Structure 1
Amino acid sequence: MVRTRAAGIFLTPLLCAVPLGGQERLEIVSGEGRVVLEGIEWALVEEILAVNHEERLIYVGDLGDPFAILALSLEDGSMRGRYGGGEGDGPGELRRLAAVAAAPDGVLVSDGGRVNHWDAAGNLLSIWQPGASTVTALCSLAGEPAAALFDGVIRRSPDGGGIRFGSRLASSESPATDREGQIGAQEFMEFATAHIACMGGVAYVQMGNRLLAHRPEGLTSEIRIPPPLAQDAAARRPPPDSRRLVPWYGSLSTNGRGRLVLGQFPRRGHEVVGAVFDPLSGCYSLIEDRGDRLVSRRFMGVHADSAIIYGRHTRSREVEGRTMNYAEALAYQIALHPLRRVSGEPCPPPPGSSR
């Protein structure tokens, strides 16, 4: 059963308490840090990744094991768990890997239509079928799986159904309306490439060039994306009549310390790859990768004081008599590289944070 929490839903821009200009810039120090995992046999799927900061685990999908999620130690890359492994619709089986999220007691994995919940030991705890949407953006909200909808969020209810909350537009339209069949091609592309991250009892959804904070009690607030990232994302858009599926951003996650992390796709000649920011104050730190000229690395998130970097497989091909090198969207390496401040001042730590 799906219930709707509609009372008190409205859209409110969040006012930033600090000025946004002249803030911190961090550089990924590629010559320092450590390699967590490396091997030419790995083909890690960039869209499938989650981090359990407390347990120091990273959950990944590998083409060599296409129907399972692997839990790896961020300390030494050792295997700590394997979830799934069979193709199908049975308990614990997966049709594909659509999304993964760390849960307090294990891991959540979506195959597009269902969300499987395993504990850390690999025991299947539950299977949730939201029924409202294709689940490609998933997080754990107060211990329950939650998925992004076009106009809000759906979270598993205690009876195994779903509770919808939030809103995309400031209008009288009910947030319970599943509008995926009624939206235009461009809007559907934004939904299909949306990201979600849950932190502090709030579900943050990036869709297009907007970031909305949805609270279970019904309040939706707009969070300001760090302006340099928002401006660059807008400048990279294809023509309005294009039907190419081009994501606005590469990832949305948390750093385990009360901040959101928004990642961009690497581009030749473009050093800014993401930002760490406080959704309450708007204070942000830009992250730069100054040494990657072949886009052979991809910034995937932040753990502690280090950037999580995927080393990508590279290939060569002949184009009009010239040898061209290019990077694939598959990784053979996971590395942690420290972040070093190169300018600006750091943001104050979030309330209750140790830093």
Structure 2
Amino acid sequence: MRAPTSLVIAALVVTPAVDAQQILEIDTAAGRVIIDDEWRAIRTIGDMPLDRARALLYANDDEEPEGVMAFSLETGEWIRTIPTPEGGGPRELERGMSGMALGRDGRLYVSGYVRVLEFDPLGQYVTNWRPGADVVSDVCEFDGQPAIVAGTGVIRRGSDGTDEDIGRGIVDRRATTTRETSAGYTRTISGRSPRIVCTDDAAFVVTTNAEISDSVFVYHRNGETASLAIPTEFTDLGDDCKVERSFGARVLEFACTSWARELMPSLDGQANLVLLGRHVEVPGAIIDPETGCYAVLRKPEQSWDYDALHIYQDSALVFRYASWETDRGGFTMSTAADRVSLHPLRRISGEPCPGMLPSVN
């Protein structure tokens, strides 16, 4: 079993969200628990797609590090495990998993850093695709076919199996710093690789960097490209806020602004773009890409103990982590979740976007 990555939280200064078109709050006092198992270690750093039609959550858990586990969103029970072993074979992933996505008919795509594996709705292997990219960092289904984001842009598998370029110019905006230590040279990469989510018509690519805010680039099937403005309410953190990420005995320090901006894109089932990530108070936003109307999502109180990482049935799907105090004056928190719950959203202020979360009051 892999040792869970942990975060150590130091000083914390937060500026509250203001001027959002609407502010929604997670009602943690209401809702229901889906999974509550101290032996679970659901990895929350990568993709965790939802099959809304079948009420399933797909996730990577330490119980099976070389596989994808499916859980019922109704009962929390384990449904199946889909093997995704590391290796160089046609049914294997070189260097492990880099992303997951669900197709419109329930098929599952799992990307490694070289190829993409495709499974049917029951988890049976269908085929694999090796796109012409140096590194495959994430995957989505773009108009019925898998597509990936790479350093050169979005690449979609054509109907004949050949690569189809959808726009060029996506840049890996992570910053690389090399410094000399007593043990030699250490290279640190800030931010994360680009992430992608798609509708039939558009691919949304989120890039991140430690020094500048996240950006969303939009690539349409007809070849048009655009960018999408991200609400700034959830990126305003004080300069004194620091996050230390522990890898065994090694600790790296980041500004909270850097860590909090590592947004994961998903869809809410109504073609709205959802951008959520780790944040002590304001996890992210829901954006109508057609109109730009948006809702900012916030927690009822400041907390690193949990994150809302999906919108499901007008509620927030919340993943809670174990935490414990440290002798450094903060606390350590695992990035693996052992509790998953569903909590309704409440409108705090602003006017609702047309058609977005219609049952939220």
Q: Given the two structures, how large is their TM-score scaled by the length of structure 1?
A: 0.79
Q: In structure 2, the residue corresponding to 1:166 is in which secondary structure?
A: strand
**Displacement of 1:195 after TM fit?**
1.7
CA shift for structure 1 position 148: 1.2
Q: CA deviation at 1:168?
A: 3.6
- Describe the shift of the 1:201–1:236 C-alpha distance in structure 2 as closer, same or farther (beyond 3 A): farther
Q: Is the 8 A contact 1:67 1:93 kept in 2?
A: no
**Match for 2:322 among 302, 313, 316?**
313
Query: 1:39-188 maps to which residues of 2 (within 5 A)?
Result: 39-48=37-46, 49-95=48-94, 96-103=96-103, 104-168=105-169, 185=176
- 8 A Cα contact 1:266 1:297, kept in partner: no
- Aligned CA distance change for structure 1 residues 263 and 160 (closer, same or farther; 3 Å): same
Partner of 1:201: 201
Structure 1 residues 22, 62: closer, same or farther in 2, change over 3 A? closer
Contact preservation (8 Å) 1:116, 1:128: yes
One-letter code aligned to 1:264: G
The question of whether the paired residues in 2 share the 8 Å contact of 1:152 and 1:214 is answered with no
Task: Establish whether residue 340 from structure 1 lines up as the match of residue 346 from structure 2.
Answer: yes
Aligned length: 313
CA distance in 2, matches of 1:120, 1:183: 35
Q: Which runs of 5+ in 2 are unaligned?
A: 1-17, 178-187, 209-213, 244-251
- Note the C-alpha offset of 1:192: 4.1
Task: Compare the two structures and name the one with the higher helix fraction.
Answer: 1
Report the Cα distance in structure 2 between the residues aligned to 1:150 and 1:243, rounded to whole angstroms: 27
Residue 6 of structure 1: aligned partner: none
Residue identity in the other structure for 1:94: L
Classify 1:285/1:235 alpha carbon distance in 2 versus 1 (closer, same or farther; 3 Å). Answer: farther
1:297–1:310 contact (8 Å) kept in structure 2:
yes
CA RMSD between the two structures: 3.2
1:211 aligns with 2:211: no
What TM-score, normalized by structure 2, do the two folds share?
0.77
Q: Does 1:249 align with 2:262?
A: yes
Q: Which runs of 5+ in 1 are unaligned?
A: 1-19, 170-178
Q: Which amino acid aligns with 1:284?
A: Y
Q: Note the C-alpha offset of 1:235.
A: 11
Partner Cα separation in structure 2 for residue 284 and residue 334 of structure 1: 25
| 1:227 has 2:232 as partner | yes
Structure 1's 263 and 131: CA in aligned 2 closer, same or farther, altered over 3 A?
same
Quickly say closer, same or farther: Cα 1:22–1:291, change in 2 above 3 A: closer
Shift of 1:233: 11
* Structure 2 match to 1:303: 312
**Are residues 346 and 325 of structure 1, via their aligned partners in 2, closer, same or farther at CA, if it must alter by over 3 Å?**
same
Which residue number in structure 1 is paired with residue 292 of structure 2? 282
- How far did 1:183 drift? 9.4
Shift of 1:77: 1.3
300-309 vs 93-102, greater mean Cα deviation:
93-102
* Distance (Å, rounded) in 2 between the aligned partners of 1:164 and 1:127: 18
